[in-house]
Amino acid sequence: MFMRDQEQGTRTRSRPVEPQRGSRGRRPSPPGQRSSRRKTTNVRSERRERRPRREPGDPGVLRRILTHTVTIMSLVTVALVAAVIHFSPGGGEPPPAAGDMSANELVAMMTRSEMSPIEAAAVANAKKRAHEEQVRAERIAKEKAKRDAKIRAQQRARARASASAAALAKLDTSPARNKAIGKQMNALKGWARCWPSLETMWTRESGWNERADNPTSDAYGIPQSLPGSKMASAGSDWQTNAATQIAWGLGYIKARYGDPCKAWGFWQANHWY
């Protein structure tokens, strides 16, 4: 019995001890390996401890905040609102009024405004040139207004004369009718007192015939224009319209003699006018 027990004990002690498995079924590491793992864990822990903790004022944290889209949009909005408020019309403090300024400030302002005689002369010359230019422009404008008024008056007078002549031209163009036209137009010229002189002179010249043609001199019409085509300045119908011929004849008399009375006096001495 004793010997058998010893043999069993010997067998029990000689059986190799199996390594114990961990809670997850892994075999525990050898002592040397476990120490190396502990060292690695300790190194990692030390690195974490050595890594500086980023405070809220850290540039890296600020860079992340500032580069965020929402942050950028908020900053842009704030900047735009500030710009609108700063540059809005009427914004800011108004400049102090003269009554609110001290004597020293007024003196300083006047000192800054002082200029040399040369600068003052330049300003005066500029003001003089501007005044002279204004006076000249006003004079030119007045002269132009007078010329325009005169031209308009002449145009109205010609229009009235043309209308009267056109109305008379539609009437009978017999010598008697032509005399009636001539008497009316002569009166419109202001020469009513000279009508007898005009009537007699043109009776001698053409017999008040609008188609009278002098074969020896080529004179034509009631006033015996020489040549007859000169009466075209009074109207294109100068060959047949008595009023056109009379208008031209009265213009010639005014330019040459002044009125029919003087023209008739010259005709009596020379038998032409």
pLDDT of residue 143: 93
Sign of CA dihedral 154, 159, 162, 163: negative
pLDDT of residue 215: 85
d(CA 182, CA 199): 8
Q: Higher model confidence: residue 133 or residue 33?
A: 133
Instruction: Read off the pTM.
Output: 0.40
The answer to whether 244 touches 165, Cβ cutoff 8 Å, is yes
pLDDT of residue 260: 96
Q: Higher model confidence: residue 15 or residue 101?
A: 101
Provide the residue ranges of all domains of the chain, joining segments of one domain with +: 173-270
- C-alpha dist (Å) from residue 230 to 222, 252, 262, 267: 13, 11, 22, 20
Place 112 in a pLDDT band, splitting at 50, 70 and 90: confident
pLDDT digit string (tens) for 194-233? 999 999 999 999 999 999 998 888 899 999 999 999 999 9
Query: Which of 33-47, 188-202, 245-259 shows the lowest per-residue confidence on average (mean pLDDT)?
Result: 33-47
pLDDT digit string (tens) for 50-76? 555 555 555 565 566 556 666 667 777
pLDDT of residue 141: 95
* pLDDT above 70: residue 8: no
Give exposure, 40-59, as e/b (b: 16+ Cβ within 10 Å).
Answer: eeeeeeeeeeeeeeeeeeee
Place 97 in a pLDDT band, splitting at 50, 70 and 90: low
Place 41 in a pLDDT band, splitting at 50, 70 and 90: low
